[in-house]
């Protein structure tokens, strides 16, 4: 069963695995749990491409695990924080 098939399952574990089950998303979550909040910090710590990081952060935000808040208008810059649902992933990340 592929990742796309997992997201359509009624099982909550399968759906969660489809959202956060790839290595890059787990790296972002790890950095958030360790205190990183800014895009540039995620880039430096994970060494992933900015495009891939942007995609994963948008996916986490859309799923409700992460929220972003503007801290600069010119240029537009954001900090990212875990929501209550995102913080609930802590046992999964450390497992």
pLDDT in tens, 24-76: 999 999 999 999 999 999 999 999 999 999 999 999 999 999 999 999 989 99
Mean pLDDT value across residues 75-85:
95
Contact 61, 1 (CB under 8 A): no
Model pLDDT, residue 70? 94
Tokens of 48: 């992933």
pLDDT at 5: 63
Concatenated DSSP letters of 20-43: H-SHHHHHHHHHHHTT--BHHHHH
Residue 89 confidence (pLDDT): 87
Could you give the CA distance from residue 34 to residue 28 in angstroms, rounded to a whole number?
Answer: 10
pTM of this structure? 0.82
How far is the C-alpha of 12 from the C-alpha of 28, rounded, in Å?
Answer: 21
Residue 11's pLDDT is 74
**37: DSSP letter:** -
């Amino acid at each position: 069963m592929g990742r796309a098939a997992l997201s359509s399952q009624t099982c909550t574990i399968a759906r969660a695995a489809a959202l956060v089950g790839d290595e890059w998303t787990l790296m972002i979550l790890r950095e958030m749990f360790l205190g990183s909040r800014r895009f540039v910090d995620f880039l430096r710590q994970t060494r992933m491409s900015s495009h891939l990081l942007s995609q994963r952060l948008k996916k986490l935000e859309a799923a409700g695990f992460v929220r972003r808040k503007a801290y600069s208008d010119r240029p537009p810059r954001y900090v990212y924080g875990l929501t209550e649902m995102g913080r609930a992933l802590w046992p999964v990340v450390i497992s």
